[in-house]
Amino acid sequence: MTISTFRKFGMVLAVLMSTTAANAQSGPPGAMGAMPPVDLQVGVVEMARQAVPRVVTSPGRAVAFQEVGLRPRVGGVIEDILYTPGQMLEVGDPLFRIDDAAYLAAAATARANAATAEAKLTLMQAAYDRAQQLEGRGSSTAEVEAALANLEEAEATLDAARAALDYAQTELSWTTLTSPIKGRAGVSTVSVGDLVTAGQADALTTIIRFDPIYVDMMEASARILSIRSSLTDGTLEQNDTLQATLTLENGEVYRGNGQLVTPGNTVSTSTGTVTIRFQFDNPQHVILPGMFVRGDVAVGTVQAYLVPQRAATRGASGELTAYILAEDGTAQQVTLQDDGSYENAWIVRDGLKDGDKLIVDGLSALRPGQAVTPVAAVIDQDGIARDANAPATGE
The Cα–Cα gap between 340 and 320 comes to: 11
Count of domains observed in the chain: 3
- Sheet with 195-196, strands from edge to edge, namely 176-178, 94-98, 76-81, 195-196
86 and 176 share one domain:
yes
- How high is the pLDDT of residue 131? 85
Looking at the DSSP assignment, which residues form a beta bridge with residue 295?
58, 246
The pLDDT assigned to 113 comes to: 95
Least confident of 64-78, 152-166, 294-308: 294-308
pLDDT at 317: 85
pLDDT of amino acid 383: 56
Helices (H), 134-191: 141-174
Q: Which whole-number Å values give the CA distances from 105 to 73, 168, 197, 363, in the listed order?
A: 18, 9, 19, 89
Three-state DSSP at 194 gives: coil
Q: What percent of the chain has pLDDT over 90?
A: 53
Residue 25 lies in a domain: no
Q: How far apart are CA 171 and CA 72, in angstroms?
A: 11
Range of the domain at 249: 54-65+210-302
Between strands 205-220 and 237-247, the pairing is unpaired
* Confidence label for 39 from pLDDT (cuts 50, 70 and 90): low
35 part of a folded domain? no
- pTM comes to 0.69
Considering only residues 168 and 23, tell me which one the structure prediction assigns the higher pLDDT. Answer: 168
Q: What is the DSSP code (8-state) at residue 29? A: T
**Is 33 within the bounds of a domain?**
no
Tell me, what's the pLDDT at 391? 55
Cβ-proximal residues to 142 (8 Å cutoff; 6+ apart), any chain: none
> Over 70: is that where the pLDDT of 166 sits?
yes
User: Are the C-beta atoms of 47 and 311 separated by less than 8 Å?
Assistant: no
Question: What is residue 4's predicted lDDT score, i.e. its pLDDT?
Answer: 44
Tell whether 272 and 329 lie within a shared domain: no
pLDDT band of 8, cuts 50, 70, 90? very low
22 pLDDT higher than 90: no
Q: Is the pLDDT of residue 203 over 60?
A: yes
Per-residue pLDDT at 9 exceeds 80? no
Asked, for residue 128, whether it belongs to a domain, the answer is yes
The pLDDT tens digits of the residues spanning 129-147 come to 888 888 777 678 888 888 8
Residue 16 forms part of a structural domain: no
